[in-house]
Structure 1
């Protein structure tokens, strides 16, 4: 019993002092402030070409809703392309070479005067 107690104490201290894995610094919250619903939100690396996309949304992202996008260990690099498709419109919006390591939130906006979609990085 004397040898088990110190071993358990050492294992317990090791668990307490082991730092928790930090969230991936590319993970991002995407806030839809465009006034329109989004049916597709995709991210791909600049070297992947513009034909390979995977939808990060489980359902349509309504105006004023937020989607949280997590990146996995096999995803590499900070710089990504971002593509948005509208629920009731046939054109896409594409932003190239966005450095996700420098932001936590993307606020998507639409300007009806200029008819352009942009984002604000936070």
Structure 2
């Protein structure tokens, strides 16, 4: 019986380890807490330049909505630039050199007093 329980424990630990390695450390949930709709959410590597962006959104990300961004195996590194474009506003917000491997949730916020957009990483 002792060997049976030890075997079950070993199988359980190996399954848990496999599941934790399956998710890319850069994958992130983005939560829009700005009060405004977002039409474009892009990530690019710092070496890609500022002209190469792919929109990660299938549709407009409304205020208080969230989306999950998954990275491909071809993508390299933890540090990325993040760009946000608003649905009814012509300017973009850009954060450079954000280490995505340090958090799982990115909460986008806007402060109307200072007119600045920021993010909180969790």
TM-score range (shorter-chain normalised) is 0.7 to 0.9
1:78 corresponds in structure 2 to 78
TM-score w.r.t. the length of structure 2 is 0.84
The answer to which structure has the higher helix fraction is 2
1:53 corresponds in structure 2 to 53
Q: SS where residue 75 of structure 1 aligns?
A: coil
Measured in 2, the distance between the counterparts of 1:68 and 1:37 equals 16
CA deviation after TM superposition for structure 1 residue 22, in Å: 2.0
Q: SS where residue 94 of structure 1 aligns?
A: strand
1:11 corresponds in structure 2 to none
Q: SS where residue 47 of structure 1 aligns?
A: helix
Structure 2: stretches of 5+ with no match in the other structure: 1-13
1:25 corresponds in structure 2 to 25
1:83-122 pair list within 5 angstroms: 83-122=83-122
CA deviation after TM superposition for structure 1 residue 31, in Å: 0.2
1:34 corresponds in structure 2 to 34
Q: SS where residue 22 of structure 2 aligns?
A: coil
Measured in 2, the distance between the counterparts of 1:120 and 1:108 equals 7
1:61-98 Cα shifts (integer Å, max 9, x gaps)? 00000010000100000000000000000000000000
Q: SS where residue 84 of structure 1 aligns?
A: strand
CA RMSD of aligned residues (A): 1.6
Number of residue pairs aligned between Structure 1 and Structure 2: 108
Measured in 2, the distance between the counterparts of 1:111 and 1:51 equals 27
Measured in 2, the distance between the counterparts of 1:80 and 1:50 equals 11
